[in-house]
Structure 1
Amino acid sequence: MDPKEIKSTVSNLEKSTDDVTILKLLNILNDGVVPTEKLLRETKVGVAVNKFRTNGNSEINSLVKKMIRNWRDIVQAEKKKKSGSSSSTPSGESANSSGSASTSNGPTGKFHSGPRNPKIDGINTTLYDNGTRNASVSALYTALAIERSESGEHILSIAKEIENEVCKAEYMAVNDNYRNKLRTFTMNLRNKKNPELRERLLNKKILPSQFVKMTPNEMAPESLKKEIEKLHKQNLFDAQGATEKRAVTDRFTCGKCKHKKVSYYQMQTRSADEPLTTFCTCENCGNRWKFS
């Protein structure tokens, strides 16, 4: 694929919302892109593809990781073949002698793999006369950069804004409240099970001024939020069952084990003119359901 074809496919990919189309376009890129450092920089295909790392579809998630890993290996092999030393590192790029990270600069992002922190990315976080503030910016940067491909400059700008918002809230004082807040924010951002939080901040779906006002529950991973909601509904179901008189009947059939020994109770959960809601529990397997 030439750069024009890749850009067109990337544009369609970014507009796609259904998994079937996304998989089709990703496979087209996987089969058609012969990655070079120049091509990845020009098309930003690595950045576009990497956004789907956190997709809920395991097939998409797995394919994206495979593509990024393969492209990284090919680009690294290309760079080694050209020189085999850091002296050939393109202008504007910082070399990493450990070989743990590979970057390709672009105006809005980098094709990047491996662990990231300000030192590896060549980012200066000595911004203030106060060492604690500088350390906070550095910690936020490292947390935000986990499994991300945005440019170091962009990640630094978000880290600076978050730190500055916390500092302003404490009237520009570096006190215990400041340290505790930064520690909480950094820990939540470092959670590898919470890529959505990092993505929303870096894509500016959440502004730093909003982020610093979020509660731990609001910052929790989507999977944990769903689990909490499920638990809440289950507890509500149990609580309702405990307060209502249950009867056992053979009029209902369990959809799970097909047994007919079912206990049930009824409750008015909607307006008075609506029918009662019936809550059922299979006495054989414990399966629960409800209907109106």
Structure 2
Amino acid sequence: MSCEEEVLSIRKQLEKMTETKDTTQALDLLKSLGKLDITLNILTSTRIGMTVNALRKSSTDEETQTVAKSLIKAWKKLVPESAEKKEEKKEEKKREEKPVKTSSTPSGGNYNLDEVRSSCRKLLLNAIKGEGELPEGCSEEKCQDIATDLEQAIFAQYKQTNPKYKNQVRSRVFNLKDKKNPMLRMNLLCGILSAERLSKMTSEEMANDEIKKQREAFVKEGINESQLAVVQGTKTDMLKCGKCRKNNCTYNQIQTRSADEPMTTFVLCNECGNRWKFC
């Protein structure tokens, strides 16, 4: 009996076992297939691969499934890949081996970042460079490096370009451009303030001297929330007291944080004296 005839005989037996769902003898037949010298022509003419795969799916015996998988895997190696498939694999391998290049500056030709991060770096760069000439010993290349380090430090905090990331960038840009706060930018350019530190500073920490002095004055004078709601307050019926539900209130707005943050509103109910604040 030729190899092809033996394969055909085994195929018929395996198909019968699959139909009757009695695969108790299937393992011996699969092992017999493994000993035969099966060529691509025999695989094609007998379609034994389809039969073995169907048996693998229907069998509940783990050893039978394992042997069937091994046969199918070995037979797949006999099937030549199409030219198209080979080309796809070749291109995929090239992509895996090709190193990803990034530039340390936004103007680099290999700047490999998404558009949001690229835009944010440019905003930071413009704020760091400022207007007019750069201070002595500071080049435009250095500004680019600082902008890159600053953006990377901000991105590292959020791992994505979400609203928090964008707000953090905008806050740095605003304070770096603040003409009343030139020392923040100068300290960054001179290396006194690192990009890493600036990326995590609060609005209060970045604020100019005028804002800081204003805060200190509030604290020194003992101005608390209740006093702020009375001093120079504006009467309104647009606000409702959460306690008595009346629309007879007085409010006062004051800048308690840096200029890029919204003002804090202190409210006093003229009916029951309830006080609250919202930003």
Return the TM-score normalized by structure 1: 0.37
User: Could you say which structure has the larger radius of gyration?
Assistant: 2
TM-score, scaled to structure 2: 0.38
